[in-house]
Structure formats: C-alpha cells, structure tokens
Amino acid sequence: MSCLMVFGKKHVESDHDKKSFHEVVQEGMKLAAAPNLAEYIPFVGRFDLQGIVKGMKAVSKVYDDMLDKIIDEHVEVFDKDNLKDFIDVLLDCMASNDTEFSIGPSNIKAIAL
C-alpha cells in the first residue's frame, strides 16, 4: 500500500536480481536486527567478521539503484497537471520556482527512503 502511494506501483522491482522492494527491505531489517559482535567487542568491528557491513552496503546500493530508476521513470512521464503519487508531487516541487527552498533528485531519494 505504501509503495502504491509513494511510487505509484504496487510492487517495485530491482534490476539486480529482480528482487522486490519488500524483499530488499526484509534483507535490510534482518541485517539491522542481527546481533553484531562489533557492538560488544569494538576492535573486532574493522574486520567485519559477520559480513554485516558488507551486506548493508549491498542493500544500500540496491535501494539507491531502485530509487534512481523510479525517479527517472517519473521524470520521463511527468505531467504537472496529473500528479499521481508522492514522487510526482516532489517532482512538481522540484520544478516549481515559487518555493523558498529547492529540492533535487538526491533530496527526493532521501525523502522517499
């Protein structure tokens, strides 16, 4: 439901492994909830024995690529008179010169995340 409101699609897929947005979120949550040995023994953190840092970087890259693709798709079909979802509203704010602040694609990514 939230993907539909924000992205305009019910299921968002990644180009990497055709993972759905839901699967990527689950993977990130699993890594975030995993007990991290480095939290208890700090000097072990630089070795990333459990692969948590490597996994989080991979998930972050997939998130970044997915959001770039979604924003690019919305930019291609953007119609100011037909705002369908939250990304369209943010693109409208980006195109508008009336606001006292400006947002760019990186801001849209951060807000959507």
pTM for this prediction: 0.77
Cβ neighbours of residue 1 closer than 8 Å, sequence gap 6 or more: none
Q: What is the mean pLDDT of residues 87-111?
A: 86
Q: How sure is the predictor about 112, in pLDDT bands with cuts at 50, 70 and 90? A: confident
The pair of three-digit structure tokens given for residue 53, joined into one six-digit string: 């840092």
> pLDDT tens for residues 79-96?
888 888 888 888 888 888
- Exposure pattern of 16-30 as b/e (b: 16+ CB <10 Å)? eeebebeebeebbee
pLDDT reported for residue 30: 97
Higher pLDDT, 13 or 35: 35
C-alpha span between 85 and 19 (Å, rounded): 22
What DSSP line would sit under 48-73, residue for residue? -TT-HHHHHHHHHHHHHHHHHHHHHH
Tallying the residues shown for the chain, one arrives at 113
